[in-house]
Structure 1
């Protein structure tokens, strides 16, 4: 990305939108359960605050980030939950202040990063733009959990293009992390953004194709909804398998969400 300012601005806007959703909650509402098992609204915001601080460390103190990475490698199955649990124990006003301060500091650090810089992360090293894209994806996805917990339907925006992009780019990772052979053929992905624009990726004549609304694609790759409840369609056996395993986030495969009609 030649000019990362757009994704920095969109990350700020996405965070501000979620901030407005939780800022007026009463103390008791922060404990409301979300669709993520064992996670309350407080856990969701605490996780974002924890990850923002990790990203800030990666951008400003690579040696210090290495200490965080070593802790993660020592407890790969629990370090994320432990970070969320620690923050969720804070009083809501303190947690909200911590999240605001951390994301503002990260915003400043990303904007100040020299062009071409790359920073360590829990996966491959990341540019400032890629770091911001990852933070936007997570903010949107965890914001969806908060919205679902509150019964709020959010209005989708074209900021989803960043989530779509990272979901498409993570295709090979989704296969590899499950020990599945990575398809050699590129896929064609065509999704319609909230403003009506068609966003396309991959060769136009590809035999493996994925189509649908951008919102539904984003819910799929962040595992916030089951594909049976979404209008995302695949042509080709490899593309069809991808829709069962797609994930835009790093780490082990997620369990995903059950179809809405599965209960009972």
Structure 2
């Protein structure tokens, strides 16, 4: 079994990385629009805080989470936006403090949870490692929105392996959410890590293969960049189809980002959970 502390440490580090982008941000900059249409920097941080708080509830009070889930499904198309908007309405200093406290509570809850426990969620129940990985993925993805809004180029880290792994593991989900039948065969995914080493998943002799930079794969499966702007190569028709629909987050598929230079208004799926 994977050591959950490693994933908790990565989650903590990802939160600290995003925190560094917004810690000294002037108050008016929290209202800056991000690539997610209608979402400001405050909405992005507010969404992360809202979801971190829901995660703590799922881990520590499953019955309480069930009540929250019931309320969420009364507004299935809008509860994520509503939660982000509610948090974004707070003063930036208050929101920042709340987000920091929520992050701390989440890592504490994950560390204290019984080994092998499963927690309810908006999709299938998740174990501790899956929960930590999903929260890291969302923190990184929404952090990318913030970085893009602020014109900051982030340095990729080995934490991308968590997101890449999630992207590979969610292949069949991406097919099903797009009303497509998943291929029976495993794919091979070979990615170049930020330090130049290589990460791989799937059988070496697989007929369908995806190769390219790990950063580009992470951007693709979180729908933070258009495939046309990424250096990912699909070998095989089914692998190519997957790259067109891949997503590492639960919930419906989003429109994704428009290609650079395109006049399209396509945006990322704000409510990836």
**Smaller-chain TM-score bracket:** over 0.9
1:153 is matched with 153
Q: Name the structure 1 match of 2:267.
A: none
2:261 aligns with 261
Q: Does 1:30 align with 2:36?
A: no
Q: What is the CA-CA distance between 1:74 and the residue it aligns to?
A: 1.9
Distance 2:72 2:206 in 1: 39
Partner residue, 2:119: 119
| Equivalent residue, structure 1, for 2:235 | 235
Q: Which residue of 1 aligns with 2:96?
A: 96
Runs of 4+ in 1 over 3 A off after TM superposition: none
CA deviation string 1:209-236 (max 9, x = no partner)? 0010000000000000000000011011
| Distance (Å, rounded) in 2 between the aligned partners of 1:162 and 1:82 | 29
TM-score normalised by length of structure 1: 0.98
Name the structure 1 match of 2:251. 251
The two structures have a TM-score, normalised by structure 2, of 0.95
Deviations along 1:28-81, one digit per CA (max 9) or x if unpaired, are 000000000000000000000000000000000000000121122222111110
SS at match of 1:135: helix
What number of residue pairs does the alignment pair up?
A: 264
Match of 1:64 in 2: 64
Q: Distance in 2 between matches of 1:235 and 1:88?
A: 43
Task: Provide the rounded CA distance (Å) in 2 between the counterparts of 1:68 and 1:161.
Answer: 32
Retained in 1: the 8 A contact 2:52–2:103? Answer: yes
Alpha-carbon separation, structure 2, partners of 1:232 and 1:120: 34
Residue number in structure 2 paired with 1:209:
209
How many Å apart are 1:2 and its aligned residue?
A: 2.5
1:181 match: 181
Q: Which runs of 5+ in 2 are unaligned?
A: 265-273
1:4 Cα offset (Å): 0.9
Residue 140 (structure 1) aligns with: 140
Could you say which residue in structure 2 is the equivalent of 1:74?
A: 74
Mark the runs of 5 or more structure 1 residues left unpaired by the alignment. Answer: none
Q: Aligned-pair distance for 1:263?
A: 2.6
- Structure-1 separation of matches of 2:140 and 2:236: 29
Aligned to 1:19: 19
Q: In structure 2, what is the Cα distance between the partners aligned to 1:190 and 1:92?
A: 41
Deviation at 1:86, TM superposition (A): 0.2
Residue aligned with 2:182, SS: coil
Q: By how many angstroms is 1:199 displaced?
A: 0.6
Q: Is the 8 A contact 2:2 2:129 kept in 1?
A: no
Structure 1 stretch displaced more, 217-226 or 109-118: 109-118
1:86-142: CA deviation from partner (whole Å, max 9, x where unpaired): 000000001001100111001101001111111111111111111000000000000
Residues 223 and 256, structure 2, Cα contact 8 Å, conserved in 1: yes
